[in-house]
Amino acid sequence: MHTFSTTSILLLLSLTFSGCSSLISSATGKMATNLSKAIVNNDDPATVKAGAPAYLLLLDSFIEGDPEDSGILIAAANLNSAYASVFVEDEARAKRLTQKSLNFSLQASCLKFPSTCQLEKMKFAEFNNAIQQFGVQDIELLFTLGASWAGWIESRSGDWNAAAALSRVTTIMQRVVILNEKYKFGQAHLYLGVLNTLLPPALGGKPDVGQQHFEKAILISKGQNLMAKVLYAEKYARLVFNQELHDKLLKQVIKTDPHISNFTLTNVLAQNKAKALLTSGKDYF
């Protein structure tokens, strides 16, 4: 996995498959929404891995039929990014899928705000101004843009030019928090928690800020999103060498029933991750 693996996949899974509100009014909306719910509430990752490619092709067919349907573009961006991050190990393939995801989200943004049609090429100040155009009614598009961009960066972990775009993801997620911090059960806080704990303080990391975001994400999701605790342990507790907090969080995850509506698939993956972290933690600390 890449630098952002625990973020883009394990974050995206808890929100991507929960249904795209923009799709509900379309002819394919009911089917897409029901399928999304079936995926997010599935407790067998292997089944999802085997079945998701068919859904990817289906979304491609919808886009072929109507390339200006922003709802379909958003759904396709989400699923391509999540699938690539969670299930694809081949680096070249992951890059293709995450590029596709980013292209879909940029296309949807361009349709909504023509001034953002060159968003990825803008200088940061111009980019920042463009992001401020997004209002509460655009939060689904804005979050998808940030999540797909994070997945794109993840698949290019050795590319410093890609890593330079992390500040853009931060800007997007900060805007989401301002607009509605509870959106998608506080997922933007979870992204910001990881972003602030990627580096130690000496190199510019802000673990204290990251800790606040992790705790806010757990609070907003009422502890139902077990991946929030796993990321809190992996990214923050390990960074500050707090083994007591690390083990406490992971043991809480392992003993919790993962079958929670909208979180089941993510929670199963979180428990698998928690077990691995507890084992490796014996050598880490």
User: Can you give the pLDDT at residue 221?
Assistant: 94
d(CA 74, CA 148): 10
For residue 194, report the phi and psi dihedrals to the nearest 5 degrees: -65, -45
pLDDT in tens, 95-129: 999 999 999 999 999 999 999 999 999 999 999 99
H-helix or E-strand spanning residue 1: none
What pLDDT, on a 0 to 100 scale, did the predictor assign at position 25? 46
pLDDT at 38: 77
pLDDT per position as a tens digit, 161-180: 888 899 999 999 999 999 99
- Say which residue, 35 or 203, is predicted with more confidence: 203
Mean pLDDT to the nearest integer, 217-223: 95
What DSSP letter does each residue of 132-190 carry, written as one string?
A: TT--GGGHHHHHHHHHHHHHHHHTTTT-HHHHTTHHHHHHHHHHHHHHHTTGGGGHHHH
pLDDT tens digit sequence for 29-87: 566 566 667 777 889 989 988 988 988 898 899 899 889 988 889 888 988 888 888 88
Instruction: Assign domain 1-180 to its CATH architecture.
Output: Alpha Horseshoe (1.25)
**Is residue 7's pLDDT more than 60?**
no
* pLDDT for position 42: 86
Contacts of 261 (CB under 8 A, 6+ apart): 41
Give the whole-angstrom CA distance, residue 71 versus residue 28: 10
Buried b / exposed e over 1-26, threshold 16 CB at 10 Å, is ebbbbbbbbbbbbbbbbbbbebbeeb
Tell whether the model's pLDDT for residue 238 goes beyond 60. yes
Whether the CB-CB separation of 56 and 62 falls below 8 Å is answered with no
Range name among 18-32, 73-87, 193-207, 221-235 with the lowest pLDDT average: 18-32
- Residue 34, pLDDT score: 66
CB atoms within 10 A of CB 123: 7
Kindly tell me if the per-residue pLDDT of 256 is higher than 70. Answer: yes
When the pLDDT of each residue in the chain is averaged and rounded to a whole number, the result is: 87
Q: Which among 34, 41, 1 has a CA at the least distance from the CA of 19?
A: 34
From its phi and psi, is residue 19 left (phi > 0), alpha (psi between -120 and 50) or beta?
Answer: left
Band of pLDDT at residue 13, cut at 50, 70 and 90:
very low
DSSP 43: S
Stronger pLDDT, 35 or 205, i.e. the higher one: 205
φ, ψ for residue 269, nearest 5 deg:
-65, -35
pLDDT above 70: residue 160: yes
